[in-house]
Structure 1
Amino acid sequence: MKIVDVCAFYAPKGGGVRTYVDQKLIAAAAMGHDLVVIAPGDEDRVEMREGGGRIRWMRAPLFPLDRAYRYFSDRAALHRALDEEAPAVVEVSSPWRSASMVADWAGEARRVLVAHADPLSAYAYRWFGGIADRAAIDRGFDWYWRHLRRLDARFDLVVSASDSLSRRLIEGGLGKVTTNPMGIEPGHFSPARRDPALRARLLAECGLGADALLLLGVGRHSPEKRWGMVARAVTAAAASRPMGLVIVGDGHDRRSVIRAVGGNPHIRLVAPIRDRPQLATLMASADALVHGCEAETFCFVAAEAVASGLTVIAPDLGGAADCARANEGWTYKSASARSLSMTLRQFAESPQAPRDPGRTRSMADHFETLFAAYAGLDPARTITR
């Protein structure tokens, strides 16, 4: 099967989307599919991938709000590229301009919208959540829901990575939603990697003894991750039991994270860890993963924590919450430092021991389900373009 992924947020220095697409290229080749990724770049060129598939970069302008990314600006050029590739299925992973471009393309391929992001949770609910409930915010952003419903009418399938996002999309009037959770890379994350000496060293770096709790946070420093809130909650909860927090990541919001930490010696900020075995060892050596973002569509780090034997403590909305609930974790009221602090105190009073994660869903499981769904699309069905 020939698949083209029109991926607006695939970039040389990209994060989760790039990691996901790179894994998909390898999986597609292993399963006998021809996958081409069309991405906005600094020039027109083709990049062959050793594991299979290729990246077709299209010359595109820089995205003004984040110059690490570019955006598709030439509708005709994108349509020509799709004509040349002649896929059986074309998928698009952004609900914005590129989705409308793909919907307008005159080709016969089946079209799939993959919900890699939840813009309302990441922005609107966070910005206005202090003055209005979600129902009121949804009414204020009805233009966005109308846009999604128009895309739903023009696409053959909408793929969501979590039950919580699927429910919201369906409640918003979309009729072609299917849930296909993502998974983790096999062979890295396991409770067997737990290293008591590493745990003791990290607690010592936090100025604490081995009897304290070691909490771990992993993710970029950006406002929707709410690391400042997490830091304040941990500082308050530590009054009842000593606990250290190690936050792995970096980003443009780093200064505000540092201000929130406020010189607390029990909280350490660590640079991103690119080495997967090293990160897996760190995860398995902590006592719990603490997450602050309620806008996750899946939350890889929560799934990796579960596979490492950790308890997940997450906000009560979004993909991280789904992961926590499914694996005997803890949830707190989203965006509330007070609720998180109370939850941390309750967790500290409960027995802590590495959990048996059982069989965890892998990315191979995800891709096998995804490509099977593509193969099952009716090629004869007529969609209003």
Structure 2
Amino acid sequence: MKLVDVCAFYAPKGGGVRTYVDRKLKAGAAMGHEVVVIAPGSRDHVEHRGPNARIVWLKSTLFPLDFNYRYFSDIPGLYAALDREQPDFIEASSPWRSASVIADWPGAAPRALIMHADPLSAYAYRWLDPIATRPTIDTLFDRYWQHLLRLDTRYDMIVSASQGLSDRLTAGGLTRVVTNPMGVDPGVFSPTLRDEGLRAGMLAMADLPPEATLLLGVGRFAPEKRWPMLVEAVTAAGTRTPVGMVLAGQGRDRKAIERKIGENPHIRILAPITERSELARVMASADALIHGCEAETFCMVAAEARASGLPLIAPDEGGAADQARTSGGFIYESADAAAAADAVVDYATQRLAGLAGPRADLPPPRTMDDHFAELFASYEKIIAQHRQGLRAA
């Protein structure tokens, strides 16, 4: 099978999507497929990633809200790239404009939409939940729902990585939703990487003794991640139990996070971590992962934390919630700093009593390769059905 992934969210400094796509290139080749990623770049060029794996970068315009990303601005050029590749199957990896563009490409290949983003949760619900009910918000954003319903008729599959997102899409009228949870990069994250010296060093950085609870936050510094809310929650929890937090990430909201931290010595932002192996060491050496975003479609960092043996403290909606419930984590009401503080204190109290904490004996979450094996098998089935239909016609 020749698979082409038209991935508007792939960028050199991207987060979970970049991790996902990089593994797809390796897994596809290992499983005997050819995988080509078409991504928006600063110039036209081809990047080879080994046998049967490459990225075709198309010169594109910077995305005005986040200069780490670009968007496909030359649609004829994108169509010409697809014509050259002649894929057996196409993925569109964004539910925004590029999904409609790929649906309109006149080629015959079947196609799937990968829901790497949940715009309603990331924006509409986050903005309006305090003042309106979900049905009212959905009515206000009916144009977006109509957009999704049109895509549902144009794509052979709508792939969702979390049951919560799948349930909302299905309840909204979509009929081709398939739930296929993602996984972790195999061989990278492990409880065996725990380093008590590294843990003590991070606690010292946060002006805390070794017996204190060390929370780790990982992700882009963007509004939907709710880092200022978590800073508020951990600060409040710190008045009841010795707890600190270190943050690993970068992004345009760093200044806002720093302002929220203020003079609190128990919350620190780490220098950017660029190596996955170093992130794995840091993750395994914390006491728990804390997450604030209720709009995750899967939550890669939560899966990586689980693979590292860490308990999860997560909001009650989205992919992070799915991960926490599966692993017996600590759940709090989304977007509520006081509820998050209570969850932190609950966890810290149980940890100090020996009833909770990092564990090396939990079964790891499934791997990316498990996800891709299932995904590619579903694509091959659709290709076979498609070809049979063409012969019958």
Normalising by structure 2, report the TM-score.
0.94
Provide structure 1 residue ranges, at least 5 long, that are not aligned to the other structure.
none
In the alignment, is residue 361 of structure 1 matched against residue 360 of structure 2?
no
1:372 maps to 2:389: no
| Alignment match, 1:119 | 119
**Partner Cα separation in structure 1 for residue 64 and residue 254 of structure 2:** 20
Q: For 1:95 and 1:130, locate their aligned partners in 2 and report how far apart those are by CA, in whole Å.
A: 25
After superposition, where does 1:189-204 map in structure 2 within 5 Å?
189-204=189-204
1:26–1:51 CA contact under 8 A, matched in 2: no
Q: Does residue 1:352 correspond to 2:356, yes or no?
A: yes
3-state SS of paired residue (1:158): strand
Q: Deviations along 1:94-116, whole A, 9 cap, x unmatched?
A: 11221111111221111110000
Deviation of 1:51 after TM superposition, in Å, equals 5.2
Which residue number in structure 2 is paired with residue 307 of structure 1? 307
Deviates more, 1:180-189 or 1:65-74: 65-74
Write out aligned runs for 1:48-87 (5 A): 48-50=48-50, 52-87=52-87
CA contact (8 A) 2:15 2:220 kept: no
Change (3 A) 1:51 1:270: farther
Question: What does residue range 254-293 of structure 1 map to in structure 2 within 5 Å?
Answer: 254-293=254-293
1:335 corresponds to 2:335: yes
CA contact (8 A) 1:287 1:352 kept: no
**Counterpart mapping for 1:65-144 below 5 A:** 65-144=65-144
Q: Deviations over 1:334-366 (max 9, x none)?
A: 000010111112222212332222132111111
CA contact (8 A) 2:33 2:52 kept: no
Structure 2 CA distance for partners of 1:208 and 1:138, relative to 1, 3 Å: same
Aligned to 2:36, the other structure's residue is in SS state: strand
Question: SS at 1:376's partner residue?
Answer: helix
Distance 1:273 1:329, change over 3 A: same
1:183-210: CA deviation from partner (whole Å, max 9, x where unpaired)? 1112222222222222222212211111
Does the CA contact (< 8 Å) of 1:103 and 1:154 recur in 2? Answer: yes
Match of 2:213 in 1: 213
Choose 182-191 or 150-159, whichever is displaced more.
Answer: 182-191
| DSSP 3-state at the match of 1:349 | helix
Residue-pair matches, total? 382
Does the CA-based 8 Å contact 2:306-2:364 persist in structure 1? no
SS in 2 for 1:23: helix
Q: How far apart, CA to CA, are the structure 1 residues paired with 2:269 and 2:51?
A: 35
Aligned match of 2:248: 248
Residue 60 (structure 1) shift: 2.3
Residue 277 of structure 1 deviates from its aligned partner by 2.4
Shift of 1:69: 2.2
Correspondence 1:180 to 2:180: yes
**Deviations 1:70-114 (CA, angstroms, capped at 9, x unpaired):** 222333332222222111111100112211111112211111100
Shift of 1:211: 1.5
Amino acid in structure 1 at the alignment position of 2:356: Q
Partner SS for 2:250: coil
Matched residues in 1 for 2:97 and 2:148: separation?
12
Residue 381 to residue 334, structure 1, CA distance change in 2 (3 Å): farther
Gap change, CA 1:112 and 1:237, over 3 Å in 2: same
Structure-2 residue corresponding to 1:21: 21
Q: Percent identity?
A: 59
The whole-number CA distance in structure 1 between the counterparts of 2:201 and 2:145 is: 49
Aligned match of 2:167: 167
Distance in 2, Cα, partners of 1:352 & 1:156: 44
One-letter amino acid matched to 1:224: E
Give a deviation string over 1:296-326, Cα, whole Å, max 9, x none: 1111111111111111000000000000000
Q: Does the 8 Å contact 1:26/1:52 carry over to 2?
A: no
Moved more, 207-216 or 349-358: 349-358
- Which secondary structure state, in structure 2, belongs to the residue aligned with residue 57 of structure 1? strand
Please say if residues 152 and 174 of structure 1, whose CA atoms lie closer than 8 Å, have aligned partners that are also in contact. Answer: yes
Moved >4 Å (runs of 4+): none
Shift in Å, 1:10: 1.8
When structure 1 is superposed on structure 2, of 229-238 and 71-80 the one drifting more is 71-80
Alpha carbons of structure 1 residues 84 and 126: separation in structure 2 relative to 1, 3 Å = same
Query: Cα offset for 1:140?
Result: 0.6
**Secondary structure of the structure 1 residue equivalent to 2:46:** strand
**Which AA in structure 2 matches 1:233?**
A
The alignment yields a C-alpha RMSD, in angstroms, of 1.5
Please give the TM-score of this superposition, normalised by the length of structure 1.
0.95
C-alpha spacing 1:381/1:149, structure 2 compared with 1 (3 Å) = farther
**Offset at residue 15 of structure 1 (A):** 2.6
Report the secondary structure of 1:251's partner residue.
coil
Q: Counterparts of 2:34 and 2:52 in 1: how far apart (Å)?
A: 8
Partner of 2:35: 35
Tell me how far 1:381 sits from its aligned partner. Answer: 4.9
